A and B are shown apart, each in its own frame.
Chain A
Amino acid sequence: MPDEIIDRATLSNLLATIGDDVSFLGDLMDTFFDDAPQLLATIRRSAEAGQAEELRRAAHSLKSNSANFGAMTLSRMCRELEELGKNGTLAGAGERLAQAEAEYARVRSALQAIRAAGL
């Protein structure tokens, strides 16, 4: 199932972009694993506080980052959140956020598995 979570072609493209440097990909993943929970936290906080612009920016970043690693489902979810922030209508944000959090957990496991498998 991990293949559904991570688009391997996109991940290969990322690896090619950085000169097939697996170690650097590891660094990127670590950065992603550091940033993503913070961004999700920011989205939650701003959704509760009704700060649409902040939510939008955090969702935008997470969308971009997850797309880089081929986590297309997570990226789509973040895009929907970003749209909400952009439109200023935060209704339904909580539900989408919960899905995104769950999806991130899967992405994280999948990437770690890929990494453990030596790609």
Chain B
Amino acid sequence: MATDHGHILVVDDNKINRMLLTRALAEQGHTTATAENGQQALAMLHEASFDVVLLDILMPELDGYETLAQIKRDSALRHIPVIMISAVDEMDSVIRCIDMGATDYLPKPFNAALLQARLNASLASKRLRDLELEYLEQVGYVAEAAAAVETSAFKAESLDKVAARADALGRLARVFQRMAREVHAREQRLKQQLQQLRLDVEERQKAAAETVAVYLPMDRRHALAEGGTLPERTRGAALFADIFGSTSLTEALARELGFQRGAEELTRQLNRIYGALIDEVHHYGGSVINFSGDSITCWFNSDNGLRTTACALAMQAAMQQFAIITTPAGTTISLVIKVAVVAGPARRFLVGDPQIQNIEVLAGRTLDELALVEHQARRGEVVVQAAIVAEAGERIIVADWRTDEALGQRFAVVTGLTDAAAASPWPDLAPDSLTVTQARPWLLPLVYEKVRGGKSEYLSELRPAAALFLKFHGIDYDGDDNAGARLDAFVRWVQTVLARYDGSLLQLTMGDKGSYLYAAFGAPVSHDDDGARAVSAALDLQSAPAELRFITNIQIGVAYGQMRAGAYGSSAHRTYGVLGDKTNLAARLMQAASGGILCDEAIYQAANTHLNFDSLPPILVKGKANPVAVYRPTGEKKRAGRVIDELSPAQQLTLKVASVIGRIFSFSLLRDVYPIEADKTQLSEHLQTLEQLGLTTRHSPESESGLSYIFKDTITQEAAYNLMLFAQRRQLHRAVAEWHERAYAADLSAHYPLLAYHWSKAEDVAKAIHYFEKAGEQARDSGAYQEAQRYFNESLALDARASVLSSEYYTADGSAVDRLAKNEG
């Protein structure tokens, strides 16, 4: 048996016994203390910790019995083993002591081996008891820890002592500690992630605000940030810069890299140039007001022309780095600019429907002059209005004077300044000075979505699109105080017409030969009939409504082809553009249209199934070596409404009912909801007729409900739908909705959006809300948050209406409010 060493208290009134035992115990490796009587012993037991007490029986003061009794009565001492010291003739006393709780006895005279054996046994039992006590104590700690874990107050360190054990309790404690540490670590991780997420969201919101803000002219950004507006009448200098060489670069890159990659590379190259030019504009305190083709028009408020001339010269200097661009295949192309500068009064308007897009306008006589100056400028030159040179005196170095004989005006070709005009850089805007909401109206809704989604950055795509240029007169930008309001009314009307065909107004330019606007069809929203849409829009735009009669001499050019669509400019200022060879052609056709509409061959090919065109003699346009074929649209050939008009009432009704169902409609559904029982037998014949007239066609694959059809185009479907009275539409939508509810009664979940749509069109608000919410929950649960938000918004919008008609709403589906009312009654 392994020998434990203990701390022993020897209690004996006999000096020799004390000496003997002390010495004998020391021999065995124990430490000792001695007491001469019981009283002394008890005091010492309370002061120090002993492993065993050797207790004599017969002692003065307090004898062994009483001492033993007191030890056993004391909860702090009773676990200490007590070995009675006795002579062999005292066995009756020993038995009495054992009865009282003594562990053992040691006979006198002492025997070393016996002493060792008795002591070891006692020490071992004491150790066991101590371990047991410690175990119980530590079980208590673990139990406390378990409670603390539940209240999240657990500290892993509190179990360090228990965890050091090698046994099951130690393992339990270690499991607790690990668990608590893991929980804590996970909590910390989650907190960190949450914090990071918060930062990311903030970062993204700021980034989004900045990205959106770069679509605004710099002066507008500052005005908005300061909570102000820009004055409609102002003075300053205007600068026009036009980039040459992009056509050659386009062709070279398309040849070398293919159309798509070529377009991307072109955009990258042009954006580098825009970046360099726009940086100079901002450095001299100017703002880019609009982009037109490969040119920019800028405004330097309050400048007499000198600062703007310095900027123009700096722009030319910046262009040196692009004088020779080498394409991937080694073609060298030179990109150069010409710059024109004028100074004077100008009008600054903000027009258009903010829901669609705000359009920045810089107009007036000074801008007309800018066009004149620009005509005088050649590549690589800076040409400045004579008045600026006159005012600046000797400071502007004029290399040459150009004269327009017809106008009798002189223009200065400027090569430098005698002393550097002070730059006037814009101060930095704080990142959060403009909110996304403030800046949003300057972007087309779809472009905004892309920008916010981070998808527009340098994204450029090549896609077929139709370009529509419209020139108009009739607004006196200098003299008419109402010019802004008039222009705004006109632009809003144009935007509305364009929206009807999913076209977008991209530019509004004021020039000496009339103002013109540019719209595109096919970007950012595309359809397979964009060509026809552009012509239909052109026909609608040809004559302004009565309230816009001040607009005169509308002439329109339309062309169709591959365009590069995307963000143009730099990180400091950009715009969404749709540009291509056909953009230029559309502008040329507009100039040549003389009071009507001219379309190119591609438009004719794309739209002649829907529209009638007169073929006109080919014309020569600037930039094209050969005459180009031109066509003038005369009206809609098979305007869906007209064909529908010629149908029998029953055939018409078939088409109308189908239009309610959708672009694709099944025969069985059509038959079931068709409102006139008597005619149902002839439905197949009607559908055959509609097919023959080219309005609808068989749809394959057949749907689960059997035979189905599809409208050949959405225009026919819309026309048929629009011919119905509202009451009739409501009735048919209700029939379609009820049909779906019956047909899919077992599980409507796949039809929530459709049901919501039909019930809302049937104007059953309660049902519509019900299904919009179901659709919203479904979308939300599948992670389609935008979609979910849309459904919930629809539901909310209906809810707002419903609150007006609350009684109807609440009783319609026997909802809780109704029941509550009954219970309370």
Contacts and interface: CB of A to CB of B under 8 A. Distances in A.
A57 interface: yes
A118 interface: no
A19 B24 CA distance: 7
Nearest to B13: A61
A18 B20 contact: yes
A17 B16 CA distance: 13
Interface in A17-33: 17-19, 21, 24, 27-28, 31-32
B622 interface: no
Interface in A21-52: 21, 24, 27-28, 31-32, 35
Interface stretch (B105-113, B252-260, B390-398, B551-559): B105-113
Contacts of B89: 79
Most B CB atoms within 10 A — which of A24, A64, A65, A79?
Answer: A64
Given A14-B109, A17-B24, A17-B111, A67 B87 contact: yes
Q: In the complex, which range does the number of interface residues on chain A fall in? A: 20 to 34
A17 B15 contact: no
A68 B109 CA distance: 5
Given A57-B58, A61-B14, A67 B19 contact: no
A60 B58 contact: yes
B112 A16 contact: yes
Contacts of A21: 23
A17 B115 contact: yes
Contacts of B13: 61
Contacts of B328: none
Contacts of B14: 61, 64-65
A17 B27 CA distance: 8
Nearest to A13: B111
A31 B15 contact: yes
Contacts of B110: 14, 17, 68
B60 interface: yes
Contacts of A27: 19
A60 B60 CA distance: 12
B17 interface: yes
Interface string A49-87: 000000001001101110110000000000100000000
Nearest to B87: A64
A92 B242 CA distance: 148
Q: What is the predominant secondary structure among interface residues of chain A facing chain B?
A: helix
B422 to A, nearest CB: 107
B60 A17 contact: no
Interface residues of B, number: 20
A13 B112 CA distance: 8
A47 to B, nearest CB: 18
Contact of A35 (B16, B23, B24, B115): B16
A57 B89 CA distance: 15
A10 interface: yes
B16 A32 contact: yes
A17 B87 contact: no
Most B CB atoms within 10 A — which of A18, A21, A24?
Answer: A18
Contacts of B108: 64, 67-68
Contacts of A13: 109, 111-112
A88 B151 CA distance: 72
Nearest to B110: A17
Interface in B745-804: none
A14 B16 CA distance: 12
A14 B20 CA distance: 9
A28 B20 contact: yes
Contacts of B27: 17-19
Contacts of A14: 20, 109-110
A83 to B, nearest CB: 9
A19 B23 CA distance: 8
A79 B89 CA distance: 9
A27 B16 CA distance: 10
Contacts of A60: 58
Interface string B42-61: 00000000000000001010
Nearest to A83: B89
A91 B13 CA distance: 27
Contacts of B58: 57, 60
B404 to A, nearest CB: 133
A67 B89 CA distance: 12
Interface in B84-111: 87, 89, 108-111
Nearest to B21: A17
Most B CB atoms within 10 A — which of A21, A24, A32, A68?
Answer: A68
Most A CB atoms within 10 A — which of B13, B15, B115?
Answer: B15
B14 to A, nearest CB: 5
A92 B60 CA distance: 25
A21 B15 CA distance: 18
Contacts of A65: 14, 16-17
Interface string B300-327: 0000000000000000000000000000
B462 to A, nearest CB: 107
B22 to A, nearest CB: 10
Most A CB atoms within 10 A — which of B16, B20, B23, B112?
Answer: B16
18 contacts: A13-B111, A17-B24, A17-B111, A18-B27, A19-B23, A57-B60, A63-B87, A64-B14, A64-B17, A64-B87, A65-B17, A67-B108, A67-B109, A68-B16, A68-B17, A68-B20, A68-B109, A68-B110
Q: List the 6 shortest-distance A-B pairs measured between CB atoms, nearest first.
A: A19-B27, A17-B112, A18-B23, A17-B24, A68-B109, A67-B109
Interface of A: 10, 13-14, 16-19, 21, 24, 27-28, 31-32, 35, 57, 60-61, 63-65, 67-68, 79
Given A17-B27, A64-B108, 5 more contacts: A14-B109, A35-B15, A57-B58, A60-B58, A65-B16
